[in-house]
Amino acid sequence: AETLFPYTTLFRSLLARVEADTQEVDVQLVGEDGLCIGRAYLTVLLEVLTSSVVGWSLSFTPPCFEKTAGALRHALSERQDGSAAGLMEELIVDNGAEFYNASLLSIANRLGFTVRFCSKGQPNQKPHIESFFRTFNMQLIHGLDGTTKSNPMMRGDYDSEGEAVMTLDELRNIVTDWIQNYYNKTAHGHRHLPANVLWERNLDKMNPPKVFTAEAVRFICMATHFGTINHGCVRFKNLSWSGPGLSHVQSKLKPGQKVEVLYDRTNLGTVHVREPSR
Distance (Å, rounded) from C-alpha 49 to C-alpha 92? 13
Q: What is the pLDDT of residues 124-136, one digit of tens each?
A: 789 999 999 999 9
pLDDT tens digits for range 162-192 = 999 999 999 999 999 999 999 999 887 667 8
pLDDT of residue 9: 43
Q: Strand 36-38 relative to strand 41-47: parallel, antiparallel, unpaired? A: unpaired
Tens of pLDDT, residues 66-119: 999 999 999 999 988 888 999 999 999 998 889 998 889 989 998 999 999 998
Count of alpha carbons within 13 angstroms of residue 108, beta-carbon side: 21
> Model confidence at 6, in pLDDT bands (50, 70, 90)?
very low
Evaluate whether 218 touches 98 at the Cβ level (below 8 Å): no
Separation between Cα atoms, residue 244 and residue 252, nearest integer Å: 14
pTM of the entire structure?
Answer: 0.85
* Region 54-70 average pLDDT: 94
Determine the pLDDT at residue 2: 47
Residues 6+ apart with CB under 8 A from 196: 52, 83, 84, 184, 185
- 143 or 265: which leads in pLDDT: 143
Is the pLDDT at 3 greater than 70? The verdict is no
How many percent of the chain have pLDDT more than 90?
64
Decide if pLDDT at 233 tops 50: yes
Res. 238: pLDDT tops 90: no
pLDDT of residue 218: 86
- Select from 183, 209, 178 the least CA-distant residue to 194: 183
Going from the C-alpha of 141 to that of each of 40, 57, 90, 154, 169, the distances in angstroms are 12, 16, 29, 13, 15
**What pLDDT was estimated at residue 189?**
66
What is the predicted pLDDT for the residue at 5?
Answer: 44
**For residue 123, what pLDDT is reported?**
63
Strands (DSSP E) found in 89-210: 90-93, 114-117
Average pLDDT over every residue of 227-244: 89
Count of all residues that appear for the chain in the document: 278
